[in-house]
Amino acid sequence: KIPTLQEIMDLAKESTAGLYLETKNPELYPPHLESTVIQIIRRNGFEKRVVIQSFNPRSVERVKALDPSIPAALLIDALENDPVEATVKIHANEIAIDHNLVTRDIIQKAHERGLTVAVWTVDEHEDLKRMIALGVDTIITDYPDRLNRLLGK
């Protein structure tokens, strides 16, 4: 069974964990999806514990238009355009980039523009160490125990 967003939030309430929620291509779901997600976030008091992210800029723009206070991220899996400028253009708070693409220059430019930088999905020990050394803000991993050991937690 696939859990509902409400069921996920019910589980997360028992911890301090934050949630990254990904919306997919807006053409594939009803136009009210983002507003429904935001309603569930508000109802559960998760406004400061969630980031809504998407590869689709239109979805991120909808989120920010509906509630500018909810953090949103543009997912980046290719460097066809300037990822920082693309993120700023749609009023997102964060650039969420494939860890294989991130550079010190991208991180610096993002920070200069007031964005946070998340990298995904970083699972190998050496990659985790490199992301820490680069100074990214968030590391998404399938192995939080590995990351915690590197961070001394």
Placement of tokens 């989120």 in the chain: 63
pLDDT for residue 30: 79
pLDDT at 153 exceeding the cut of 90: no
The helices-and-strands tally (H runs, E runs) of the chain is 7, 6
Amino acid at 127: D
**Gap between the Cα atoms of 105 and 120, Å rounded:** 18
Structure tokens at 99: 């860890």
pLDDT, position 27: 78
* Per-residue pLDDT at 26 exceeds 80: no
Query: Taking the domains of the chain in order of start, what are their residue ranges?
Result: 5-150
Categorize the per-residue pLDDT at 59 as very low, low, confident or very high, splitting at 50, 70 and 90: very high
Share of the chain above pLDDT 90, in %: 92
Instruction: Report whether pLDDT(134) > 80.
Output: yes
- For the cut 80, the answer to whether the pLDDT of residue 121 exceeds it is yes
CA 9/CA 3 separation, integer angstroms = 10
Q: Specify the pLDDT at position 24.
A: 85
Q: State mean pLDDT over 93-100.
A: 98
Local structure of residue 93 (DSSP, 8 states): S
Q: In sequence order, what are the residues at sequence separation of 6 or more whose Cβ sits closer than 8 angstroms to the Cβ of residue 130?
A: none
Report the alpha-carbon distance of residue 20 to residue 18 in Å, rounded: 7
Q: Which CATH number applies to 5-150?
A: 3.20.20.190
Which two structure tokens, joined as six digits, stand for 123? Answer: 């699972």
Average pLDDT (125-149) is 97
Reported confidence tier of residue 25, pLDDT bands at 50, 70, 90 = confident
